[in-house]
């Protein structure tokens, strides 16, 4: 175990309190993986090596699963949208083989953001997206990583409004 400063506890002056705590080996593994995916690091080899040989990254919001060489796809995608991507870990809960993390995925939108209607041009908007990550570990490596990004909040922070009118169906006449 090592001792590190982490965010957590009640807020002071609008900022989460920093506290010292002991970090377990499982948490160290997860924190090291996050570091490899930071915008100023982007070490895809180290990212992939953090996973077991049969490891999987499940991007729940976008319904994607990635294994092997494709484990870095979401990391490079996020760095393409937000080159300065940073993950602010708010709470890390270690249950041995499971590490659950509440975090904010932060960055500056330098895009573009691909959509079915065409790309959304970068705006320079700053984002701080609530995210929940669940890491299942085996033999000192990540076996499964389930990532839940609040896409609706991300879109709102980027200024992308939902088009409910296009999705709504006019009432049908009954006779």
114 contact partners, CB below 8 Å, separation of at least 6: none
- Residue of higher predicted confidence among 125 and 171: 125
Within its chain, how far is the Cα of 47 from the centroid?
14
Contacts 24+ apart (CB under 8 A), 150-157: 150/61, 151/61, 151/62, 153/129, 154/127, 154/129, 157/125, 157/126, 157/127, 157/128, 157/129
How many percent of the chain have pLDDT more than 90? 74
- Residue of higher predicted confidence among 7 and 146: 146
> In this predicted model, what pLDDT tens digit does every residue of 1-51 receive, in sequence order?
443 445 554 455 555 555 566 778 999 999 999 999 999 999 999 999 999
The size of the chain, in residues, is 175
pLDDT value of position 19: 56
Structure tokens at 5: 């400063």
Domains of the chain: 2-161 (3.10.450.50)
> In this predicted model, what pLDDT tens digit does every residue of 100-112 receive, in sequence order?
999 999 999 999 9
Within its chain, how far is the Cα of 28 from the centroid?
17
């Amino acid at each position: 175990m090592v001792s590190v400063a982490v965010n957590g506890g009640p807020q002071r002056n609008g900022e989460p309190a920093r506290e010292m705590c002991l970090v377990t080996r499982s948490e160290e593994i997860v924190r090291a993986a996050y570091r490899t995916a930071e915008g100023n690091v982007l070490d895809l080899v180290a990212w992939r090596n953090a996973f077991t040989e049969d490891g999987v990254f499940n991007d729940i919001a976008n319904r994607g699963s990635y294994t092997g060489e494709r484990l870095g796809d979401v990391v490079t995608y996020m760095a393409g949208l937000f080159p300065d991507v940073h993950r602010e870990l708010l709470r890390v809960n270690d249950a041995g083989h499971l590490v659950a993390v509440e975090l904010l995925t932060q960055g500056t939108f330098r895009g573009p953001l691909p959509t079915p209607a065409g790309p959304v041009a970068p705006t320079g908007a700053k984002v701080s997206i609530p995210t929940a990550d669940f890491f299942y570990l085996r033999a000192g490596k990540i076996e499964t990583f389930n990532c839940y990004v609040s896409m609706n909040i991300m879109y709102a922070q980027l200024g992308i409004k939902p088009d409910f009118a296009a999705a709504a169906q006019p009432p049908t006449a009954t006779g």
